[in-house]
Amino acid sequence: MDDNRRNPISGDEVALRRIQRLALHLYTPSAPLSGELSLLPCRAKRNLSPSVESLSEYMRGPHREIQARIFEFFQSRPDLQTPVEISMAEHRQLCMKQMMALVREAGIRPFRYLVENPSAYFAIAEAVGGIDISLGIKMGVQFSLWGGSVINLGTKKHKEKYFDGIDNLDYPGCFAMTELHHGSNVQALQTTATFDPITDEFVINTPNDGAIKWWIGNAAVHGKFASVFARLILPLQGKGGKSADMGIHAFIVPIRDLETHALLPGVEIHDCGHKVGLNGVDNGALRFSHVRVPRDNLLNRFGDVSRDGKYTSSLPTVNKRFAATLGELVGGRVGLAYSSVGVLKIAVTIAVRYSLLRQQFGPPRKPEVSVLDYQSQQHRLMPMLASTYAFHFATQYLVDKYSEMKKTNDDQVIGDVHALSAGLKSYVTSYTARSISTCRESCGGHGYAAVNRFGILRSDHDIFQTFEGDNTVLLQQVAGDLLKRYQEKFKGGTLSMTWNYLRESMSSYLSQPNPVTARWEGEDHLRDPKFQLDAFRYRTSRLLQSVAARLQKHTKTLGSFGAWNRCLNHLLTLAESHIESVVLAKFIEAIQNCPDANTREVLKLVCDLYALDRIWKDIGTYRNVDYVAPNKAKAIHKLTDYLSFQVRGVARELVDAFDLPDLVIRAPIGMASEAYEQYTQHVGF
């Protein structure tokens, strides 16, 4: 018998059930939100009056004092401020002079903060990058890369010998990893370090032109040492008496005389020349011709060679040693993500302030209106301003997790930071690069003046998308990690905090969308953070499930590499979707943790714009699976435009809350007051 015969339902019951379902189509839910995501009710219809002081206080974090010291120092030293027009040679010398003054005159010791208080170090890096992005990168090469490699890959003997010299700049150094033929594929580097058991030395050699170290910061002019990444070769210890390749290791190699600054024997360095940007950083190319260094110069935390040439390691395989080595260098990605948000704040501040100041056209026989009153300008800049806030809280969370990782060495936190830093570095730097161009265009002809900063910001920041890991490669790492977590989920494994939603909600996300909720279009529903976060996570979960199925299918015919390449665009979309989910979750948490009700209300408005703008930009995905019905899609579009209008009303306060001094903004059109007066004075009036 069929089910209807076993359980007969009366006509009245069927009619009642249909009426109840129809009612759900017409009314949005009024039930309270879950405790985790519960926020204040929507109040979009009344004018907000945000307190810049309260908002800024919540935004600035615990290390604003040291940033203020940096700003005050450079403000008091006009000779250390980078002019608009400067030659490459002058810029390089100025950058070195700036860094020396920061350490030796201002008394700021970035290296000590890097080791003892990483979050303070990143705050210093953001402030220094505001002075000159070239200075920020040069400082990063010296302390985070050269210094970080010694501290993180070396052992006690290396710290005792080199720490003070790196800290006080007596030992300016380089990070020599990238080669002419290999950048992202570090495991394929060709430089060799062959152990000589007779002299107890390693012989560093560049076997061919493809192995020349390339784009090495601090190398062309100022560096005296280099952390050189090379293949560790042990003669006669391989199969059949051949040499054994133990994989990539790092070695401290002196490259210039400490007294005369002359190149040392066997070291050949050439200048990489003028670049698109960052010309205050002296990038060079290095070739080594059988350069000998003591055995102690091997940075031996993860692998060592004894006096008799025996190799030992706590890690059993070349791949595990390689992963551990690169894992210790993740701080560079954290710093780039954090600093990129700093650059975005500068660009958005200039564009918003100018758009408020600039007046063009208007109703007949009435005053001209602000450019930011035009819907098109709001569409360009307000979601960008909302994203800047979202990225601020997400990268602050990343810095906090990195600090926790350095303190605890917890494996779960380490895995979380590695994937999250790769994703946020990629996503944020790509977004900032696009946004700087949009800001320039939104400021018209005046945005093209070099003094108004967009050109140098765009040129200097552009390479953020490439160094410390090419963005496309990093997104693939995120996708690979998600697939690994996906497999663990079905094997009953544990998930780190950032991936918790995969464990908690994968089954519900992969079920068919609810045809009732797909039609809800009320403002309270669309501005409900639970709806927003569910939508983001639903998209990520579907992308993850579908790409896993595609990879399994294509692997049978194309192999694992071919299948990955066939699904590559799908994988990149998955990674970006996941990062957007994380960013939104951290924004929501930041609002919940804000102690001031007025500030929470403003941040809620900004967060709603960030979330709904992202949903609208990918509305096709939601429509294709009927997660959003046509009427709901239209409502999202309409509300996004309205929220942009609402954010425009508090845009001045939102950019002022970034608390960026004039020394950092510098663009006349981006000044908080008397912008036109400063602009005319700059050109000579």
Active site residues: 468
Residue 436 half-sphere exposure toward CB, CA atoms < 13 A: 24
Q: What is the amino acid identity at position 124? A: I
Helix, strand, or coil (residue 359): strand
Helix, strand, or coil (residue 2): coil
DSSP category for residue 515: T
User: Is the separation of the CB atoms in 290 and 266 below 8 Å?
Assistant: yes
**Structure token digits, residue 399:** 């810095």
- Residue owning tokens 């990058």: 129
Helix, strand, or coil (residue 312): strand
Integer Cα distance of 519 and 28 in angstroms: 9
C-alpha angle 201-329-424 in degrees, rounded to nearest 5: 160
- Residue owning tokens 């006080």: 168
- Residue owning tokens 């425009």: 648
> Among the residues of 491-567, which ranges form H helices?
500-509, 523-526, 529-566
Cα R_g (the chain), whole angstroms: 28
Backbone angles phi, psi at 609, to 5 degrees: -65, -45
191 labelled binding-site residue: no
User: Is the separation of the CB atoms in 287 and 206 below 8 Å?
Assistant: yes
368-to-55, 357, 681 alpha-carbon distances in Å: 31, 11, 25
Integer Cα distance of 612 and 390 in angstroms: 13
342 labelled binding-site residue: no
Integer Cα distance of 359 and 357 in angstroms: 6
DSSP letters spanning 628-678: S-HHHHHHHHHHHHHHHHHHHTTHHHHHHTT---HHHH--GGG-SS-HHHH
Backbone angles phi, psi at 290, to 5 degrees: 55, 55
Integer Cα distance of 234 and 597 in angstroms: 65
Q: What is the amino acid identity at position 665? A: I
Q: Are strands 225-234 and 192-196 parallel, antiparallel or unpaired?
A: parallel
Under 8 Å CB-to-CB from 44, ≥6 apart: which residues?
523, 527, 605, 642, 643, 646
Q: What is the amino acid identity at position 310? A: K
Integer Cα distance of 248 and 232 in angstroms: 6
Three-state helix/strand/coil letters over 216-255: ECCCCCCCCEEEEEEEEEECCCCHHHCCEEEEEEEEEEEC
Taking alpha carbons only, the member of 252, 222, 254, 83 closest to residue 141 is 222
User: Is the separation of the CB atoms in 627 and 511 below 8 Å?
Assistant: no
Enumerate the known binding-site residues for FAD: 178, 217
Enumerate the known binding-site residues: 178, 217
